[in-house]
Structure 1
Amino acid sequence: MMSRRAYALLAALVLVVAIVGWNFVGGWYGSGPLAKDASFIVPSGASLSSVSEKLEEKGVVASADGFAFRARLFGGGRSIKAGEFSIPAHASASRVLSIITSDDVIRRQVMIPEGMPSVMVYDRLKAQEALTGEITVPEEGSVLPATYDIQKGETREEVLRQMQAAMSRELKELWAKRASGLVVKTPEEALVLASIVEKETAKPEERTVVAGLYSNRLREGMLLQADPTIIYPITRGKPLGRRIRQSEIQAINDYNTYTMVGLPKYPICNPGKASIEAVLHPADTDALYMVADGKGGHVFASTLAQHNENVKKWFAIRRARGEI
């Protein structure tokens, strides 16, 4: 029979094992040391060991080694994900692992609308406090308007490169599918004309007609006479905020299509996919002129006489509104 001394030693051993086991398990499921909710970034390609060290450094877990060991033991082989995660205060190590192995990342986005000029793209990226580093104003027409996911700590230069790479890919793909007999002969010319179409109409259903109209003018050797090309060298695409002056209409530069035949030398904004497609698949139209219709769209005409009548109607609308 076991002596009292042996029983005591066995009981003590069981107690020690129980305490150690409880502490070990408690260290996995018990409350963590994080005092308040915080965000935590897992870099792309990071290992469990490096993430564990960072978790300890940020006060999310008590011990990097303890977290890594328990994660391998209790984690079921789950892989950590790259991204920014929201960690609640006092989250257990088990909860932390569940979070950083999930797809529940914090989504940060920056939206570049169709027709935004590059100076405003620059302003928008500079205003993103989650991003770091400096950039210069991108080349006009080099950014594809879209909504982009960004990560906290990512550089503005990296995000801008993604935007420009997206435009390069999109333009290449659309150019490969272009219609035959186009007046634009290169992807660069298509981008310039698309930037004018983008600025000339806000109605999606008008894009191909406007593209067809300007294509007709280019074939005829007519001045394009697009007002946004007057404004661009003045404001770099930002709203003018006043009526165009006669001296500005007569200005000679690389953009003003009232004083030059053909396309501007460079784009006047960052056109969207739909405007590029419109230029590469313009409407079959005989329109050469257009004027506002007072409803947010345009009235098109194939002769100057028709256009002059349409202009009279537009001026009558403006007078009725008290605009002139």
Structure 2
Amino acid sequence: MTAFSRISKWFFYLILLPATIGVCGWQGWAWWSWASAPVASEQEVSPTADGTVQLQIPPGSTAQEIGENLKAIGLIRSTTAWNLWTRWETLRDRNGSFQAGTYEISPTEALSDIAGKIWSGSIVERSFTIPEGWSIREMAIYFENQGFFSAEEFVAATEQIPTEAFPWLSPDLPHLEGFLYPDTYKVAEDTSPTAIVNQMLARFEQVALPIYEQGQAQTPYSFLEWVTLASIVEKETVIDDERPEIAGVFARRLRDGIPLGADPTVEYALGIRQTEDQPLTFAQVRIPSPYNTYINAGLPPTPIASPGVSSLEVSLEPPDTDYLYFVARYDGTHVFSRTLAEHEAAQAAIHDGRSAQSESRSETTN
């Protein structure tokens, strides 16, 4: 054995000896079990439905502060035992540390299990799902209804453009509409609107950005135009098989300088959603707005919703089509037409069919 090895060996014993003596001096594992067991707390604790306690560890909390909080709410008996575990874990994992966040802890958990949970960062998480085609307004209402935070807080967060973290975002954007990728996410229980926005932007960067980078040389659209077109295609498409044809119609209209005439852009401008019983009126589609694609040629200034990957892909280089028009049947499908005369005939047929169905329902109820 070399001199260095002997020194290293004795140095290890000097570190381990105090901990070993301490455990033995405290009457071994029987004492450790007593120190780990929970006790009644003098503080008021709000347990969850299954009896567990939610504990908030603020950022920057020291190991001693965490131990004192655990003892105060009755989850451990001894801060001395806690400090011993902390010293040993620090020696074993020098790169590790206790993690901030919200934790669910059962009163029956042992001290070592509680410490391990906080050391590894096993925080309370919850999930949320944003469907393709949702706007920021719809997301904001959803988060408020789910108890995350207020709709106003979320909208305010989306009006901050984090170009330092995501340099592909234009600093001139008024908001992040279209760039919050629709998906299912897991977040900390006490997450903030900004954290969620950044998580969704990171997902867009991961999924959507490579699509544009790979096809940028072939597409006629700028990055913003591409996402904007994809958002309109997303809102218009119900049946997936029709997505390429819808994108093709819009692409042809853009090339020919014909207004897109997309209902979802008017709905976005007015903050409404039309239904079969309450379709957009002629007066509504004549209301001036930068987003009204009935009276303005070209694309609106920003996306109108969050497109999914299918709409993003098909909008990068839309297929050629003979069609210039389409009209919804209100069953998810559309009638595509080559000429204005065909389009007007299709509109009339759909209108007559809806009127006949309405009369039939009226006669049945009477």
* TM-score, normalised by the number of residues in structure 2: 0.70
Structure 2 vs 1, CA of residues 267 and 323 (structure 1 numbering), >3 Å: closer, same or farther? farther
Higher relative contact order (CA 8 A, sep 6+): 1
Whether the aligned pair in 2 keeps the contact of 1:108 and 1:150 (CA below 8 Å) is yes
Deviations 1:103-151 (A, max 9, x none): 8653312222211111222333344545699451621223222222221
Structure 2 vs 1, CA of residues 97 and 270 (structure 1 numbering), >3 Å: closer, same or farther? same
Say yes or no: does 1:215 pair with 2:230: no
Structure 2 counterpart SS, 1:322: helix
1:313 matched residue in structure 2: 349
2:328 matched residue in structure 1: 292
| CA drift at 1:251 | 2.0
Whether the aligned pair in 2 keeps the contact of 1:183 and 1:218 (CA below 8 Å) is no
**Which ranges of structure 2 fall in alignment gaps of 5 or more residues?**
1-23, 46-50, 159-174, 361-366
Bigger drift between 36-45 and 290-299 goes to 36-45
Q: Indicate which of 109, 114, 120 corresponds to 2:132.
A: 114
Find the aligned partners of 2:315 and 2:97 in 1 and give their Cα distance.
46
* TM-score, normalised by the number of residues in structure 1: 0.78
Deviations 1:5-49 (A, max 9, x none): xxxxxxxxxxxx797335522235545557842123456786644
Whether the aligned pair in 1 keeps the contact of 2:157 and 2:194 (CA below 8 Å) is no
Structure 2 vs 1, CA of residues 80 and 33 (structure 1 numbering), >3 Å: closer, same or farther? farther
Summarize the alignment of residues 9-20 of structure 1 with structure 2, pairs less than 5 Å apart: 20=27
Question: What is the one-letter code of the residue matched to 1:25?
Answer: W
Deviations 1:198-253 (A, max 9, x none): 11112222222211110011111112111111221111xx4246332222112222
Say yes or no: does 1:176 pair with 2:210: no
Whether the aligned pair in 2 keeps the contact of 1:32 and 1:90 (CA below 8 Å) is no
Find the aligned partners of 1:37 and 1:100 in 2 and give their Cα distance.
15
| CA drift at 1:75 | 10
Deviations 1:173-194 (A, max 9, x none): 221122755342x110111111
Structure 2 vs 1, CA of residues 300 and 183 (structure 1 numbering), >3 Å: closer, same or farther? farther
Find the aligned partners of 1:287 and 1:145 in 2 and give their Cα distance.
30
Structure 2 counterpart SS, 1:154: coil
Find the aligned partners of 1:323 and 1:48 in 2 and give their Cα distance.
74
Q: Indicate which of 276, 292, 316 corresponds to 1:256.
A: 292
Question: What is the one-letter code of the residue matched to 1:173?
Answer: P
2:185 matched residue in structure 1: 148
1:227 matched residue in structure 2: 263
Find the aligned partners of 2:226 and 2:78 in 1 and give their Cα distance.
59
**Percentage of pairs with the same residue:** 28
Bigger drift between 223-232 and 86-95 goes to 86-95
Find the aligned partners of 1:273 and 1:169 in 2 and give their Cα distance.
11
Find the aligned partners of 2:323 and 2:72 in 1 and give their Cα distance.
67
